Amino acid sequence: MAVDWRAGLAALALIAAPARAVALPVIPLPQVVQTVDGAAGAALGDGTPIVVPRGDREAADVAQWLDAAVRDHLGRHFVRDGAARDGAIRLRRVPGLGAEAYRLDIDSHGATIAATTRQGLFYGATTLWQLLAAKGDAPLAAVHIEDAPRYPWRGLLLDSARHVQSVATIERLIDVMALHKLNRLQWHLTDDQGWRLQIRAYPRLTAIGGWRLDPYGQRYGGFYSQDEVRQVVAYAAARNVTIVPEIEMPGHALAALRAYPDWGFAGVPASAQSDWGVFPSIFAVDPPTLKALETVLDEVMALFPSHTIAIGGDEAQHGQWRAAPAVQARMKALDLPDEAALQGWFTAQIAGYLAAHGRQAIGWDDMLSAGGIPRDAAILSWHSAHDATRALQAGHDVVLATDPVFYFDHIQAAVPDAPPGRWAVVSPSDVYRVEPGQVDGTGGGHLLGVQGELWSEYLRTDAQMLAMAWPRAAALAELGWTQPARRDWDGFAARLPDEYRLLDRWQVPLAPGLRGQRVEPVALRGVKTSQILVSCSNRLLLNLPARDGHPLLVDIMDRCWKTYAELGHGPITVQIAALAFNYQLADDAKAIVLRAPAGTQDELVVRQDRCDGPELARVALGAVPHDGVPVALRVPLAGDPKGAHWLCLYTATHGPAPLWAIDRLVLP
């Protein structure tokens, strides 16, 4: 039965009061919460029966999920397919509530979840689970909840191309997404650095494109078999999460072109595949290449039932097209004025192929600049709210995925133990305070919802990925589900302690910090870690992993640090590492600040008060191995300066590589 997602939302809008968020320990906050003082609630302990309509397989599946979630994470044992009695949990079907809407009533007779669809029953069960988790063994208070989502697309992107996550970790991410009513997982399966999806027609995509050498010469890679993909898709579907596969084209194609060079152009060495950034690699536009990509999409569509298929479209560099006579001849034959128009034509071919098979293409908002994009293609807007509005006004459905606030590879707080990632802070409150409705435009397009991106260049481990996702993904979930009049940051923050306990129950590690304040613990005041040192220019700060995985903060465009220190007690110690400079910066590489060394070796220079002030030390770095392992250097200061001064430390080098990064400065 097709149910319009707007139906339940419109009904709730008539009764939702514009009051402050009720302090209910649930994220996302339901639209309507009514409590009755003095009314008896329900004690749902061991042996509580879960009652489902006879013959309702979908309701039985929801009951199975609730029973397992309560048993495995709360230590209680319910009875599925139990007989109706006081104190039972009842799942009921009712007409007219909307695609994901539900009602939850808790009283002395037990708990009743009513919904029209399986999705609604499931979301009622997730709300009940959160209430049970927050209350512990205490009875649940009497409450009436009516709920439906604000937007139909509430998602995360998981980048498995740059670094691979285990199937078990992906399933854990899906579990916690489902608890927060997040319902889309865009699975970024291909990029320059790796092809992660088994394609039977083209086995070299994973045999060659699935592997690379990391910056230190170690082989890295892997891929997901089609059986593993089917497992993940089924696991997600049981939890109301649709997996949206992403196959990047025409750019971000290096891994595929290493495997099948005839699909593109020469010019990028295999050794560059461990670099981060934007590559010149791009697919060709000849009929054999388009046919190969259609064959890839045939297997993708067979594995993923998602109506929407992501096709990338971002950051495509047109230089190889511009230099290829065959491409220029094809442009002339198609009467296309430039390479941007050719990308629009390419995208239209791919989107049309998907549409002919009953699917919808979705791609990044870079596609808009190319023109020629079919109106029924959806847009992931990452550049700005302005681009989202432009896409809406052009008649496209849009998912708001804006950088930086929805890019969850940024750190959550500027603290010394922040995990690797982009250094510009994106806190949970930054995410929460976005108002998506401000970008809604006219022209026939719809704002489908919001999505957070877990780009994994710097998230090398599964634990780092999970820690960067939460609790920002919880803030995103409330942004996409709860009406603006029901949301306020203080109310959300008051529910975070319960959120942290929820994450702990599901074995999700927490990143430090909540509101993004900079913290310098007393114990560290004689030790200035790179995260405490001040960048000289704040141009492109990255919290990069050393060889052992611990993060070093460095500006890759200007390797220069400052700190305030009490001098006069002897030499300082600088712990420094030579990291790989593996970045494709294109024209931006010209803006890297390079300071000339006095000799043939790279040097560490220390100056007093200013970066052009008196020179206190100049230490040759030739003995430091280029292996990403920090080495401690004892640095005597010339003239034995005394008192409180600013110190400026920078590396003087012959080129951008290696990337010198200070791990810590130890003051005597």
Phi-psi label, residue 639: left if phi above 0, alpha if psi -120 to 50, beta otherwise: left
545 membership: H or E segment, kind and range: strand 541-545
Residues 169, 466: contact at Cβ < 8 Å? yes
Cα atoms found within 13 Å of the Cα of residue 342, Cβ hemisphere only: 26
Distance CA 220, CA 160 (A): 13
Residue type, 270: A
Give the N- to C-terminal CA distance of the chain in Å, as an integer: 72
Strand residues in 17-131 grouped as ranges (E): 32-35, 49-51, 79-80, 88-93, 102-107, 110-115
The number of beta carbons lying within 10 Å of the beta carbon of residue 67 is 20
> DSSP string spanning 591-607?
G---B--SSSS-EEEEE
Using alpha carbons only, give the angle 109, 81, 108 rounded to the nearest 5 degrees: 5
Known catalytic residues are 191, 252, 315
Backbone angles phi, psi at 247, to 5 degrees: -115, 110
Backbone angles phi, psi at 71, to 5 degrees: -65, -50
Residues 579, 667: contact at Cβ < 8 Å? no
Residues 172, 507: contact at Cβ < 8 Å? yes
Backbone angles phi, psi at 198, to 5 degrees: -65, 125
Which residues neighbour 301 within 8 Å (Cβ) at sequence distance 6 or greater?
309, 354, 357, 359
Which residues neighbour 262 within 8 Å (Cβ) at sequence distance 6 or greater?
284, 288, 289
Buried b (16+ CB within 10 A) or exposed e, 402-419: bbebbbbbbbbbbbbebb
Cα atoms found within 13 Å of the Cα of residue 382, Cβ hemisphere only: 20
Distance CA 366, CA 312 (A): 9
Distance CA 551, CA 541 (A): 12
Backbone angles phi, psi at 462, to 5 degrees: -60, -40
The separation between CA 66 and the C-alpha centre of its own chain, rounded to angstroms, equals 27
From the list 492, 531, 485, 466, the residue with the least C-alpha distance to 662 is: 531
Place of tokens 């001098």: 567
From the list 377, 420, 92, the residue with the least C-alpha distance to 276 is: 420
Pairing mode, if any, of strands 49-51 and 88-93? parallel
From the list 395, 404, 390, 389, the residue with the least C-alpha distance to 377 is: 395
Strand residues in 238-372 grouped as ranges (E): 242-249, 276-277, 308-312, 360-364
The number of beta carbons lying within 10 Å of the beta carbon of residue 352 is 14
- What the block records as the tokens of 598 is 């006095």
